[in-house]
Structure 1
Amino acid sequence: MTARVLGMPAGGKAQPNDLDKRRVERALKTRRRYRYVAPAVLAVPGGYRIESACCSRNIDPEGGIVDIALLLFDEAEGEWDLFRKDHGKGLWEWESRHRRLSALLDVLTFDEHRKFWQ
């Protein structure tokens, strides 16, 4: 079976790619928290890192750029891992696993417990 049939770009790894990057950017516009800042979606090996200005000043009192989330695609399993940043430790913490990018984006944009948009 070819990569194109499996939904992966021909001739390369599935992530990152421009189509999914745009999907993430579009989904972030629908988030419920801190809608007045413009987060950046950065391609990283295997997925995307989201960063944004710290408008709440909870993490960075000066309002600098902070990490929000890390989205990594497990090619072997065909699933997405969602990580949040523990800013106190400076480490990424695993949050959840999703079969579909859209399900992961629902968790990230709703963020009921303010795990991402702090």
Structure 2
Amino acid sequence: MNGTLAGSVNPHPNELDRKRIERALEQRKRYRYVTPEVQPYENGYLIQSSCCSRNIDPEGGVIDIAKLEFDNDRRCWWLYHKDHEIGHWIRHGEYPSLPVILDLLNQDPDRRFWQ
């Protein structure tokens, strides 16, 4: 079915939710002095930011923070973090709603996203 439900098109990405994610990230606990970018991505959104900690990029370049995908068949969200050592996205989990993911990204207790 490739991301569609009986003739329905995946509603993501869309500009309303992209802006919603941007506004929500203003409440994050970590790296509040950088401005993350939220880009449309296949079936979701890609969050990138300058690497101010220099942990990932010593030059402070733009790095991947998180990838959000909406699974239209299952009506859920998949959240990914980037393993920068191997350069691959790792599925962090499946979530029922965007607000749940945004709360997790803003708290980031295990520093999986804001490294």
2:109 matches 1:112: yes
RCO greater where, 1 or 2, for CA within 8 Å and sep 6 or more?
2
For structure 1, the 5+ residue unaligned runs are 1-10
Letter of the structure 1 residue corresponding to residue 56 of structure 2: I
Runs of 4+ in 1 over 6 A off after TM superposition: none
Deviates more, 1:81-90 or 1:18-27: 18-27
- Answer whether contact 1:108 1:116 (CA < 8 A) is retained: yes
Q: How far does the alpha carbon of each residue in 1:31-62 deviate from its partner, in whole angstroms, 9 at most, with x for none?
A: 00000000000001100000000000000000
For residues 13 and 88 of structure 1, the distance between their equivalents in structure 2, rounded to whole angstroms, comes to 32
> What's the TM-score once normalised by structure 1's chain length?
0.89
The answer as to whether partners of 1:97 and 1:104 remain within 8 angstroms in 2 is: no
Identity %: 50
Q: What's the counterpart of residue 100 of structure 1?
A: 97
| Structural RMSD (CA) | 1.0
Q: Report the equivalent of 1:74.
A: 71
TM-superposed deviation, 1:12: 4.4
What is the count of residue pairs matched by the alignment? 108
Q: Where does residue 4 of structure 1 map in the other structure?
A: none
Counterpart amino acid of residue 96 in structure 2: R
Q: Which residue of 1 aligns with 2:11?
A: 14
